[in-house]
Amino acid sequence: MDILNSIMAEATAYFWDMNSRLALFYLAFTVILAYVIWHVRGRPETFVTWLLPAAVYRHKSNLVDIKIFLFNSALSIVGLFATLAFGPIITASLLDFFAGLSSEPYVPHAFTWSRSAIATVIMILTLDFCKYWAHYIHHEARVLWPFHAVHHSAEVLTPLTANRNHPMFLLIRTAIYSVIVGAVQALMLWLLLGKIDILTIGTANAGYVIFNAAGANLRHSHIWLSYGPRWEHIFISPAQHHIHHSSAKKHFNKNYGEVFAIWDWMFGTLYVTDGHEALTFGVADGDGNLIEQPHPTLRAAILHPFVESWEAFRGQKADPAPKVEPQ
C-alpha cells in the first residue's frame, strides 16, 4: 500500500506542478479557451459532451495512456529520470574549463537589463531547439523510433497523451537536454551574466507559463485550433501538432517543434494548415495505411519497443519505423 500511495502521490503532483501541462491552473485555462471555441463554432452540442466526448475518453487507447502515466510516475519515485539530468554538472565543468584558459581570475559581468534579456531569449530558444532535435532524431533514427512510436500509437488524443512516453524516450531526451542546455548555459554565464539572476529565470519560466496557459493542452485533444498560415510559420499551433500525429502519408515527418515553428521552417519539416482537416491518429505503414495497434497493453508499450529497436539495430527489419520515410 505504501508503494501504491507513493505512485498516486507522484501522479497527482503533476496537477499542482506549474512545470506540468496537467497543472490545474493550465487545465482551467484550457477549459476557458475550449468554451470560447465551442461558442464561436455555434454550440454544436452541450459543452460538457463536446469537451469530454465518451468516444475519446472511454477509448482503450486512453486507458493505456493512463497506465503509462502511472508507470512512469512509479519510475520517477525511484529517481530513474533524474539520473540523466546532469545539465548543472556540464555547466560547472565547462565553467572550470573556461576559467583554466586564462591566467587572470574570472570577474563576473555586471548585471544589465540588456544582458538579462539576451540571456532569457537564449535560454528559451536553446530549450526549444533541443526539443525539436530530440523529437526529430526519434522519428528519423530507426533504432530510436520504436520508443517514440509508443506516443504515436495513441488512437485518440487527450491532454494525458502528452505523457504517453516510453521511459527510454524520456531518458534519451533528458540526456540531450542536459548536454546542450548545460553547454549553452555555461557559455551564457561566461560571456553574459556571470551568474543566473532571478529575472532571467523568472522571465524564461513566464514564457512557458504563457505557452501552457494559451492552449498547450489542445495539442493533444480532439479540438482543432489553427493560428492561420502567417502565425503558423512562427508558432506551432494545436492543429499543427494534430497534423504531426496524423497517419496520412503527406503528414509524415512534419511539425516536430513544440513552441516555435521556426525550426521546422528552417529545416524543411514545416506543415502549415489551410482549413480544418479530418485526421486519423495512430501509426501507419509507409503508404499511410493504419497498422494494427502495436501497444494495446502497458506490457506491449513497455517491452515491444526494446525488441523492435534491437531488430532495427541488427538490420532484421527492413522498416521497423512505420512513420519514418527514408531520407
* β-bridge partners, 284: 290
The set of residues, in sequence order, having a beta carbon less than 8 Å from that of 146 and lying 6+ positions away, is: 304, 305, 306, 308, 309, 312, 320, 321
203 vs 213, more confident: 213
Alpha helices in 141-237 (DSSP H): 145-152, 167-188, 198-213
d(CA 251, CA 269): 10
User: Are the CB atoms for 91 and 185 separated by under 8 Å?
Assistant: yes
- Report the pLDDT value the prediction gives residue 88, as an integer from 0 to 100: 72
CA distances in angstroms from 267 to 133, 226, 239, 254, 260, listed in the order given: 10, 21, 20, 10, 13
d(CA 85, CA 69): 20
Burial class (CB in 10 A: 0-12, 13-18, 19+), 105: exposed
| Mean residue pLDDT across the chain | 85
How many residues in the chain?
327
Grid cell, residue 45, equals: 452540442
CA distances in angstroms from 99 to 80, 93, 270, listed in the order given: 33, 10, 41
CA distances in angstroms from 94 to 104, 122, 145, 179, 190, listed in the order given: 17, 18, 32, 11, 9
Residue 255: pLDDT over 90: yes
End-to-end CA gap in the chain: 50
d(CA 178, CA 103): 29
Residue 324: pLDDT over 50: no
User: Are the CB atoms for 217 and 21 separated by under 8 Å?
Assistant: yes
- Report the pLDDT value the prediction gives residue 121, as an integer from 0 to 100: 83
> Over the stretch 25-79, which tens digit does the pLDDT of each residue have?
999 999 999 999 999 999 999 999 999 999 999 999 999 999 999 999 888 876 6
Grid cell, residue 276, equals: 480544418
Q: How far out from the chain centre does Cα 221 lie?
A: 14
d(CA 65, CA 200): 35
User: Are the CB atoms for 283 and 321 separated by under 8 Å?
Assistant: no
Nearest to 62 by CA among 194, 222, 276: 222
Grid cell, residue 208, equals: 512557458
> Over the stretch 174-198, which tens digit does the pLDDT of each residue have?
888 888 888 887 787 777 766 555 4
Within 13 Å of residue 80, how many CA atoms lie on the same side as its CB? 14
- Report the pLDDT value the prediction gives residue 327, as an integer from 0 to 100: 33
